Every structure is written in structure tokens, then in C-alpha cells.
């Protein structure tokens, strides 16, 4: 990882750090009781994906890493690049993938757009079997309401974690492509 220098190093660690915070927020939803991570933090992390991923994509396009790893003639380049990563980084990315998969698996069944008002806890859905279609309100108990909120936060955190991890990987690939291009550049007289 000696190719990580300057801005690439900063971008890589910021994206990987945000991924770590996302995973901590996701893990907090498995704790008993109400959700531990504040909703504003999960929302802020989700919104931070857009600039982080945009910068990573620009780095990938400018450095040529995107075409080098994803081009149609370069099948297998991505796999060989992953094999060249340091063991700790492979383990970190594998851990992110496993935790995100677990987050999606445990959050998908109970994630509803739960709401609360003066009359209680509920979620609504469109009953497409009724003629005409209508909105149906399903009452929830307080524990069901908090489980639905936690599942929703878990899925949001898992989504932003995987996108931050992808951004850090793309920045690392961009730094490698730039370093490889600098080593093979002809010397000027």
C-alpha cells in the first residue's frame, strides 16, 4: 500500500473510516431496547456516501483504474488485483461484506416505514387487491415499532457501509493505477 500518498491516502482512510462508523451504527441496532445510533447520524452517513463515492469515481476515471479493472478486455483483472491486496485489507473487506450481508438479512424482514402519532404506532401499505386500491393502516405494538425502526436503520447503515467500502477500494485501485503509470512513464530529456 505504498502507492497511497497525498490525497489518495486521505480519501482512502476517510472512506474506510466512514465505513467503520456505518458498521458500528448497524451493530448498535442489534442491541436490546431502542436504537442506539441516532437517526441523524445514520442519515448523515448515508448522505456522505454521495460525495465520497463521486470523488472515488472521479479518481478512478482520471487515473484509468476504472477502465483497467472493469474494461471488457480486462476480465479477471479485478480478481487478480484483489489477490494482490495485503492480507489485513482482504480480511477487512471480507468482514465488511459479511457484516453487510448479515445486516441486510436481519433487517429485510421487519423493515417497514413505521410511524407514531397520538393514536399509536403503525405502518401503512397499499392494498392492491381492494377495488379501488386503498391505503391500509396496520397497528403495531411499541416493541414492534422499535424493531421496525431498528431494521430500517440497519438497512440504511448496511447500504452506506458497502458503498463507502466500494469507494475506498476504488480510491486504492486509483492510487495503484497512478503509481503504476508513474513508474512506467518515459523520462523526459
Does pLDDT of 45 surpass 90? Answer: yes
Residue 74 lies in a domain: yes
**Structural domains of the chain, count:** 1
**Stretch 25-44: mean pLDDT:** 85
Residue 101 lies in a domain: yes
Domain encompassing residue 55: 6-184
148 contacts 140 by C-beta, under 8 angstroms: yes
Extended beta strands in 16-92, E state: none
Residue 189 lies in a domain: no
**pLDDT at 187 (0 to 100):** 52
What SS3 state is found at 33? Answer: coil
Residue 103 lies in a domain: yes
Residue 165 lies in a domain: yes
Residue 1 lies in a domain: no
**Stretch 7-15: mean pLDDT:** 88
Does pLDDT of 36 surpass 70? Answer: yes
Residue 151 lies in a domain: yes
Residue 96 lies in a domain: yes
Q: How is residue 148 annotated by DSSP?
A: H
Report the 10 Å Cβ neighbour count for 36: 15
Amino acid at each position: 500500500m505504498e502507492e497511497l500518498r497525498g490525497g489518495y491516502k486521505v480519501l482512502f482512510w476517510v472512506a474506510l473510516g466512514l465505513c467503520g462508523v456505518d458498521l458500528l451504527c448497524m451493530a448498535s441496532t442489534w442491541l436490546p431496547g431502542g436504537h442506539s445510533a441516532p437517526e441523524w447520524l445514520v442519515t448523515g452517513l448515508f448522505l456522505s456516501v454521495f460525495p465520497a463515492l463521486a470523488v472515488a469515481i472521479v479518481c478512478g476515471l482520471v487515473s484509468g483504474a476504472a477502465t483497467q479493472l472493469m474494461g471488457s478486455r480486462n476480465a479477471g483483472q479485478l480478481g487478480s488485483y484483489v489477490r494482490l491486496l495485503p492480507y489485513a485489507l482482504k480480511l477487512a473487506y471480507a468482514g465488511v461484506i459479511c457484516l453487510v450481508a448479515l445486516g441486510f438479512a436481519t433487517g429485510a424482514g421487519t423493515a417497514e416505514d413505521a410511524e407514531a402519532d397520538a393514536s399509536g404506532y403503525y405502518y401503512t401499505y397499499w392494498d392492491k387487491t381492494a377495488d379501488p386500491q386503498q391505503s391500509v393502516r396496520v397497528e403495531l405494538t411499541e416493541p414492534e415499532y422499535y424493531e421496525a425502526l431498528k431494521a430500517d436503520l440497519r438497512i440504511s447503515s448496511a447500504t452506506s457501509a458497502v458503498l463507502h467500502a466500494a469507494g475506498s477500494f476504488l480510491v486504492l485501485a486509483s492510487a495503484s493505477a497512478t503509481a503504476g503509470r508513474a513508474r512506467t512513464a518515459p523520462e523526459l530529456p
